[in-house]
C-alpha cells in the first residue's frame, strides 16, 4: 500500500480499491495505511445482502461496488424477484440492479448482449418500497462466489 500511496501523491493514480475485504480485513488495512481505499468490491445482490459489511463500509466512507448483482444470472429464476419485476413492469435484472442502487452501492453487471446492457441502464422508472424490500429480505441467503469470511 505504501507504493500505491506514493503513486497517488505523484498524481499517477486517483484511488485505491480492494476486493472482498471484510471488516476485520479493512480494520487491519486502515490501521496500517496512509490512504484508505475508496472502494470495496464485494458480492452483493438480493440473495446475498451483506448488511453488516455494507453498513461498515458506509460508516468508513468506502464505496461498495457490487459484483454478481444479478445473482450469477439466477435473478431470472427467483420467484420473489420475478414477482417484483411483474409488479413494477421491469425485468428481474432491473429489480436486482435497483435493489443494489437503493443500498447505496454501485452495480457492475456482466453481459455481452447489447440489448441487455441497454436494458440494465433503464432502471429509473420505479423504486422498491418497504414491502418490496421486506420480500427481498426474506429471500434465502445464497452466495455464488468464494467466501472471504473463511480467510484468516
Domains in the chain (CATH in brackets) are: 2-140 (3.20.20.100)
- Evaluate if residue 1 carries a pLDDT over 80: no
- Displacement of CA 136 from its chain's centroid (Å): 15
User: The C-alpha cell of 118 is what?
Assistant: 441497454
pTM here? 0.88
CA distance 147 to 152: 11
pLDDT at position 152 is: 60
Share of the chain above pLDDT 90, in %: 66
User: How many CB atoms sit inside 10 A of residue 92's CB?
Assistant: 22
User: The C-alpha cell of 58 is what?
Assistant: 458506509
Tens of pLDDT, residues 48-79: 999 999 999 999 999 999 999 999 999 999 99
The residue behind cell 447489447 is: 114
CA distance 116 to 111: 7
Sheet (strand 63-67) strand order:
17-19, 39-43, 63-67, 106-108
Amino acid at each position: 500500500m505504501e507504493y500505491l500511496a506514493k503513486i497517488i501523491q505523484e498524481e499517477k493514480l486517483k484511488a485505491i480499491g480492494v476486493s472482498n475485504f471484510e471488516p476485520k480485513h479493512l480494520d487491519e488495512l486502515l490501521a496500517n495505511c496512509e490512504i484508505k481505499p475508496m472502494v470495496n468490491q464485494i458480492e452483493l445482490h438480493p440473495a446475498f445482502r451483506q448488511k453488516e459489511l455494507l453498513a461498515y463500509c458506509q460508516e468508513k466512507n468506502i464505496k461498495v461496488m457490487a459484483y454478481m448483482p444479478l445473482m450469477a444470472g439466477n435473478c431470472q429464476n427467483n420467484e420473489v424477484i420475478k414477482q417484483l419485476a411483474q409488479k413494477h413492469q421491469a425485468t428481474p435484472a432491473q429489480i436486482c440492479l435497483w435493489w443494489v442502487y437503493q443500498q447505496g452501492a454501485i452495480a457492475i453487471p456482466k453481459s455481452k448482449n447489447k440489448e441487455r446492457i441497454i436494458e440494465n441502464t433503464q432502471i429509473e422508472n420505479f423504486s422498491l418500497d418497504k414491502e418490496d424490500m421486506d420480500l427481498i429480505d426474506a429471500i434465502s441467503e445464497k452466495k455464488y462466489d468464494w467466501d472471504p469470511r473463511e480467510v484468516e
